[in-house]
């Protein structure tokens, strides 16, 4: 805007009354007492913005839904059937949770998000599904009693259940956006939600199966065993597979730049429609004849499960490799060494760095040279060695987590989705890295050499011994911090003031 246009713009704007200086003293004298105030300050939304209130409100809602759904399930299965179903339904849960947590190892989300997702699926989504499915089936039975059960299973249930489960992933995307960055986070959140939903549904099915066996005096010989084998052994991944499609769509939306609005809307809707379609096909397989279930299972479910698993693992590998692309900028600035981005891009090198740091501080208690594994010097471990070793490994793990967050933050900005607090978050993450660099830097450099990772263009590769093994951890190697700010002791304050965006962040 030119200087000449400023007066014209000001003339076009409506005039604002200005308080005259001589009237300032009149205002305090005219202010009424507090009891006579007509206009009171309002703290709009202050209660809901309180973090404690949010946590209490959410988990109270989940607990109420859990009590209601468990009461409904117990009413349908009986006490014995409920207990049997509960004991059998819980068996696949740890396996599924461990599998999804393994996928999340690169940039693990907080457990509170995953527990919320599991609780939503087990309590809220299950309650919505059982009430809506029952109501819809009864409504359809009034018009078409012959096909009511089939329509309920193939039309109503997929729409209701997948929408209820998708709501948990959507809530995490909206209110925990900083911790929901891409396809992997969407997959893990969807997997935990669907695992919780399947857990409650399995209690119902297994409890009813046990009740049928009790009526025929067959014990566990027939219906209960068959139901358990089908739902908990052959197809424990069914519900997670459906909902993961929605999670992938929401993850694509989270990783897409704000300007590409069509993709941000189409990806979640497409994933949800695919989830509903697969769910409908799965529920309708029993109507395809005697072997319809096995045909759909072998020719469709298992191949789709393999493809989705490959896609998610590929997305995780891409996220890991992106660290080797984004972090070298900080190596050029001197914050980290050139070898660290390559070590951080390998889960094997990360684990090795934590292990050698732990053994280094357990054995010597300092950052001296650690011989290559297989050589055990005659050295007595100092007092408190175990604690120091664990603390060192923990410091390396924290360094890896902060460096991963820094790399993903830079990747997000490079894609065009620059968060408003980018600079403050970048400074804080660099601050955390700098605090832990004396422990983690040499460990990661050693891990890079031990796994034969090196920056492109460096001579092959690093100093080695005559027999070809890498040099000891802590030995003099190129570890340039030239150009970085002057070093500060571990735990020292950051050299300049900044606001911490993590301490008082809003959901």
Whether the pLDDT of residue 61 is over 90: the answer is no
What mean pLDDT value characterizes the chain? 78
Whether the pLDDT of residue 390 is over 60: the answer is yes
The count of other CB atoms within 10 Å of the CB of residue 284 is: 16
Query: What is the predicted pLDDT for the residue at 34?
Result: 55
Whether the pLDDT of residue 47 is over 70: the answer is no
Q: Cα separations (Å) of 353 from 151, 193, 372, 448? A: 56, 33, 13, 9
Torsion of CA 203, 205, 209, 211, to 10 degrees: 60
Whether the pLDDT of residue 383 is over 80: the answer is no
Tokens, residue 186: 């969407």
Tokens, residue 264: 């941000």
Whether the pLDDT of residue 378 is over 70: the answer is no
Which range is least confidently modeled, 72-81, 167-176, 306-315, 468-477?
468-477
Which range is least confidently modeled, 86-90, 160-164, 172-176, 491-495?
491-495
Query: What is the predicted pLDDT for the residue at 382?
Result: 58
How confident is residue 10, by pLDDT bands cut at 50, 70 and 90? very low
Q: 148 and 96 in contact (C-beta within 8 Å)?
A: no
Q: What is the CB-side half-sphere exposure of residue 393 using CA atoms within 13 A?
A: 15
Q: Is 365 left (phi over 0), alpha (psi -120 to 50) or beta?
A: left
Closest C-alpha to 349, from 471, 464, 445, 475: 445
Per-residue pLDDT tens over the stretch 253-309: 988 888 788 999 999 999 999 999 999 999 988 888 788 888 999 999 999 999 999
Per-residue pLDDT tens over the stretch 412-431: 888 877 778 888 888 888 88
Q: What's the pTM value of the predicted model, to 2 decimals?
A: 0.75
Per-residue pLDDT tens over the stretch 79-103: 888 999 999 999 999 999 999 999 8
Exposure pattern of 169-190 as b/e (b: 16+ CB <10 Å)? bbbbbeebeebbbbbbbbbbbb
Whether the pLDDT of residue 468 is over 80: the answer is no
Query: What is the predicted pLDDT for the residue at 95?
Result: 95
Q: What is the DSSP string of 131-194?
A: HHHHHHHHHHHHH-TTTHHHHIIIIIHHHHHHHHHHHHHHHHHHHSGGG--SHHHHHHHHHHHH
Name the CA radius of gyration of the chain, rounded: 30
Q: 188 and 114 in contact (C-beta within 8 Å)?
A: yes
Per-residue pLDDT tens over the stretch 307-349: 999 999 998 898 888 898 889 988 888 888 888 999 999 899 9
Whether the pLDDT of residue 131 is over 60: the answer is yes
How confident is residue 499, by pLDDT bands cut at 50, 70 and 90? very low
Burial of 27 (0-12, 13-18, 19+ CB in 10 A): exposed
* Backbone angles phi and psi of 365, in degrees to 5: 75, 5
End-to-end Cα distance, the chain: 38
Query: What is the predicted pLDDT for the residue at 474?
Result: 44
Q: Cα separations (Å) of 146 from 129, 152, 324, 470? A: 22, 11, 61, 74
Residue with tokens 């919780």: 196
Whether the pLDDT of residue 375 is over 60: the answer is no
């Amino acid at each position: 805007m030119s200087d000449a246009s400023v007066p014209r713009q000001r003339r076009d704007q409506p005039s604002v009354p200005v308080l005259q200086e001589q009237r300032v003293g009149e205002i305090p004298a005219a202010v009424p007492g507090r009891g006579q105030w007509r206009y009171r300050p309002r703290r709009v939304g202050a209660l809901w913005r309180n973090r404690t209130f949010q946590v209490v409100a959410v988990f109270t809602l989940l607990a109420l839904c859990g009590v209601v759904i468990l009461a409904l399930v117990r009413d349908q299965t009986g006490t014995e059937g409920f207990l049997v179903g509960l004991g059998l339904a819980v068996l696949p849960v740890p396996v599924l949770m461990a599998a999804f947590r393994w996928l999340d190892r690169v940039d693990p989300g907080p457990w509170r998000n995953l527990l919320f997702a599991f609780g939503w699926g087990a309590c809220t989504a299950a309650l919505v599904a059982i009430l809506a499915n029952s109501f819809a089936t009864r409504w359809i039975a009034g018009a078409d009693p012959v096909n009511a059960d089939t329509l309920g299973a193939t039309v109503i249930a997929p729409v209701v259940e997948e929408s209820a489960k998708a709501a948990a992933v959507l809530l995490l995307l909206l209110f925990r956006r900083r911790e929901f960055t891409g396809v992997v986070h969407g997959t893990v959140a969807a997997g935990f939600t669907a695992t919780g939903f399947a857990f409650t549904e399995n209690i119902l099915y297994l409890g009813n199966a046990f009740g049928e066996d009790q009526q025929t005096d067959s014990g566990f010989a027939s219906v209960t065993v068959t139901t358990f084998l089908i739902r908990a052994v052959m197809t424990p991944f069914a519900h997670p597979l459906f909902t993961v499609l929605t999670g992938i769509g929401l993850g694509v939306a989270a990783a897409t730049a704000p300007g590409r609005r069509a993709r941000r809307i189409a990806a979640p809707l497409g994933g949800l429609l695919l989830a509903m379609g697969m769910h409908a096909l799965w529920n309708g397989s029993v109507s395809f004849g005697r072997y319809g279930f096995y045909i759909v299972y072998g020719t469709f479910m298992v191949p789709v499960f393999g493809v989705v698993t490959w896609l998610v693992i590929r997305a995780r590998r891409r996220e890991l490799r992106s660290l080797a692309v984004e972090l070298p900028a900080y190596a050029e600035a001197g914050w980290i060494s050139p070898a660290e981005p390559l070590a951080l891009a390998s889960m094997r090198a990360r684990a090795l760095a934590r292990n050698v740091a732990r053994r280094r501080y357990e054995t010597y208690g300092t950052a001296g040279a650690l011989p290559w594994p297989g050589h055990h010097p005659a050295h007595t471990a100092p007092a408190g060695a175990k604690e120091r070793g664990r603390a060192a490994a923990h410091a390396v793990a924290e360094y890896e987590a902060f460096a991963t967050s820094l790399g993903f933050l830079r990747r997000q900005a490079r894609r065009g989705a620059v968060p408003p607090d980018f600079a403050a978050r970048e400074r804080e993450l660099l601050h955390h890295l700098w605090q832990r660099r004396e422990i983690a830097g040499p460990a990661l450099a050693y891990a890079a050499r031990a796994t034969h990772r090196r920056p492109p263009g460096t001579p092959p590769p690093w100093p080695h011994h005559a027999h070809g093994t890498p040099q000891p951890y802590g030995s003099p190697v190129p570890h340039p911090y030239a150009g970085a700010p002057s070093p500060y002791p571990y735990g020292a304050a950051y050299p300049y003031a900044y606001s911490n965006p993590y301490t008082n962040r809003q959901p």
